[in-house]
Amino acid sequence: MPTCQNCGSKWSWKQTFKRSFILIGGMICPYCGEKQYLTAQMRKRSTLIMPIVIFLILLGNLFFGSSYIVLFAILVVMPLAAIIYPFFVELSNEEEHPF
C-alpha cells in the first residue's frame, strides 16, 4: 500500500482504490490533506498494465475464438488487475515528469 510522503501514513486499499481513479492533479492524502502524486515510474507501469491485459484477451480470442476462456479473461482477469493495482501504487510529494 502507498505511504504519504508528507505525513508518513499508510493508505488503506479502499482509500487507494478510490483515489486511483483521479488521474489529473494528484490525489489528496486522507490523513493530512496534502496532495500526493504517482511517481514517474508508477505512471509508466500503470500505462503498460491494462494494454497488456487487453492484448492477452485479444490474443486469447484470436487463438480460441469466442469462447469461455475469453469470457473468463474479461470477467476475472481485468477486475483482478484493478484489484491488485493499489498494492503497487507509489506516491511522491511532487509531480515527477517521466522524461
Q: Which domain holds residue 33?
A: 13-92
Q: Is residue 49 part of a domain?
A: yes
What is the total count of domains within the chain?
Answer: 1
Inside any domain, residue 1: no
Residue 55, in any domain of the structure: yes
Residue 24 lies in a domain: yes
Q: Let me know if residue 36 belongs to a domain.
A: yes
Query: Which residues lie closer than 8 Å to 11 by C-beta, 6 or more apart?
Result: 1, 2, 3, 4, 19, 29, 30
Q: What is the pLDDT of residues 6-20, one digit of tens each?
A: 889 999 999 888 887
List pLDDT tens digits, range 74-93.
788 778 888 888 898 888 88
